[in-house]
Amino acid sequence: MIDAPLTERVLAAVDEDRDALLQAISQAVQIASVNPRYPGQSYDDVVGGEGQASRFMADVYRELGAEVDLFALEPGRENAVGVLRGSGGGRSLIYNGHVDVVPAEKRENWRHGDPFSGRIEAGCIWGRGATDMKAGLLAQAFAARALQRSGVQLGGDLILEAVVGEECMNNDIGVSATVGRGYRADAAVVSEPSTGSAPLAVMPASPGQLWFSVKVTGKPTHAANRGRTLHPAAEDEPPGVSAIDKGFIVYEALRRLEQEWAFAKRHPLYRRGQFTIMPGIVAGGTAGVEFPLFVPEFMQTEYLLWYPPDADAAAVTREIEAHIGHVAASDPWLREHPPEVRWRLHWPANAPAADAISAATCAAHERAAEGTQFAGAAEVAGFPAVDDASWLTEAGIPAISYGPGDLAVAHADDEFVRIDEVLCATRAFALLAMQWCGVRA
Ligand SMILES: [Zn+2]
d(CA 404, CA 385): 15
Where exactly does CATH 3.40.630.10 map onto the chain? 4-206+350-437
The contacts of residue 60 (CB under 8 Å, 6+ apart) are 24, 82, 138, 141
Ligand 1 centroid from CA 262, angstroms: 26
Predicted pLDDT at 399: 98
Ligand 1 centroid from CA 355, angstroms: 23
139-159 tens-digit pLDDT: 999 999 999 999 999 999 999
Ligand 1 centroid from CA 341, angstroms: 29
**8 A C-beta contact, residue 301 and residue 247:** yes
Mean pLDDT of the region 265-285: 96
User: Can you spell out the DSSP letters for 20-39?
Assistant: HHHHHHHHHHHS--B-TTST
Predicted pLDDT at 112: 84
On the question of pLDDT at 135 being above 90, the answer is yes
Buried-state track 4-20, b at ≥16 Cβ within 10 A, e below 16: eeebeebbebbeebeee
Predicted pLDDT at 411: 93
User: Which of 413, 400, 410 shows the shortest CA–CA distance to 131?
Assistant: 410
Q: What angle do CA 385, 389, 394 make, to 5 degrees?
A: 120
pLDDT more than 70, % of the chain: 100
21-66 tens-digit pLDDT: 999 999 999 999 999 999 999 999 999 999 999 999 999 999 999 9
Ligand 1 centroid from CA 5, angstroms: 35
**Measuring CA to CA, how many Å separate 219 from each of 4, 106, 251, 368?**
76, 41, 19, 65
Ligand 1 centroid from CA 129, angstroms: 8
Three-state DSSP state, 62: helix
Domain spanning 208-347, CATH architecture? 2-Layer Sandwich (3.30)
User: Can you spell out the DSSP letters for 222-262?
Assistant: EGGGHHHHHS--TTSPPS-B-HHHHHHHHHHHHHHHHHHHH
Where exactly does CATH 3.30.70.360 map onto the chain? 208-347
Predicted pLDDT at 207: 98
Ligand 1 centroid from CA 202, angstroms: 16
**8 A C-beta contact, residue 162 and residue 80:** yes
Ligand 1 centroid from CA 304, angstroms: 18
User: Which of 430, 198, 208, 432 shows the shortest CA–CA distance to 313?
Assistant: 208
| Omega before 133 within 30 of 0, i.e. cis | yes
On the question of pLDDT at 441 being above 80, the answer is no
What is the pTM for the complete model shown?
0.94
On the question of pLDDT at 1 being above 70, the answer is no
Ligand 1 centroid from CA 242, angstroms: 41
Name the strand (E) or helix (H) holding 306: strand 298-307
User: Which of 348, 326, 350, 328 shows the shortest CA–CA distance to 337?
Assistant: 328
Ligand 1 centroid from CA 63, angstroms: 25
CATH class of 4-206+350-437: alpha beta
Backbone CA torsion sign across 114, 160, 429, 152: negative
Three-state DSSP state, 89: coil
